[in-house]
Chain A
Amino acid sequence: MVFSNIVVAVDGSTASQEAVDHAVDLARHSNAVLTGIFILDSQWPDFIGNDWQSSKGARQGFLDHIRVEQEEQAAAARAQFESASGGLEHATFHVHAGDPTDVLIEQANSDKTDLLITSRRVFQVSGRPSLKALGTTLARKALRPILLLP
């Protein structure tokens, strides 16, 4: 099987380092296009949705606080991807926004993706509790090849 388009989920953590290293190796061997992705979690407003707030900026202040952390995470992910994929000719890094689980499943099932590589623990560094089940959900819903690392 030839993989000409490989996608790897990156979040800057040690867990994702292994996934990136594997992805870079594979891309190099099969001369594939490698895409690193990070997903800004858009589900936080919903997650804190049913609480009571009366003050002017509390909710937005909280969401901005979370967003800053996520953007730092995205920057770390980008740095991790760029340093690992240094020698590769076709390597790009994308930042998406959405529910990480949904976006990752969509990526895995896209015609343009021949192989999706990710750690089970990806996006947990600054994630909501349900992202712990991301790996399991992905394994269940993926229709195309995926490589799920611990």
Chain B
Amino acid sequence: MANDVKTGSETIGAAGPRGKMTLFKDDRAEDIGAIILTVLVVAVIVVWKMK
């Protein structure tokens, strides 16, 4: 496999951290993050308009 180092061969630049396209753990966590963000946004609006 790519990461084996044999005589006369090596792997340069770690095959990299597994690239993710979200700052969250996975896409489900992103969904939950969106729910939390919604709660925050709605709370701010409700409090704002209560005054």
A-side residues, CB < 8 A to B, are 38, 40, 42, 44-46, 48-49, 53-60, 63-64, 67, 70-71, 74-75, 78, 82, 91-98
Q: Mark B1-42, 1 if CB is under 8 A from A, else 0.
A: 111001011111111101111100011101100000000000
Interface centre among B1, B2, B13, B30 (most CB of A within 10 A): B2
Residues of A close to B8: CB separation below 8 A: 91-93
B-side residues, CB < 8 A to A, are 1-3, 6, 8-16, 18-22, 26-28, 30-31
Residues of A close to B26: CB separation below 8 A: 56-57, 59-60
Residues of A close to B20: CB separation below 8 A: 45, 59-60
Minimum C-beta distance from A141 to chain B (A): 20
Q: List 24 A-B contacts (CB under 8 A).
A: A40-B16, A46-B21, A49-B21, A55-B27, A56-B26, A59-B20, A59-B22, A60-B18, A60-B20, A60-B26, A67-B18, A70-B2, A71-B1, A82-B9, A94-B9, A94-B10, A94-B12, A95-B3, A95-B10, A96-B11, A96-B13, A97-B15, A97-B16, A98-B13
Residues A42 and B10 in contact, CB atoms below 8 Å apart: no
Residues of A close to B12: CB separation below 8 A: 94-96
Given contacts A49-B21, A75-B1, A75-B2, contact A54 B11 (CB under 8 A): no
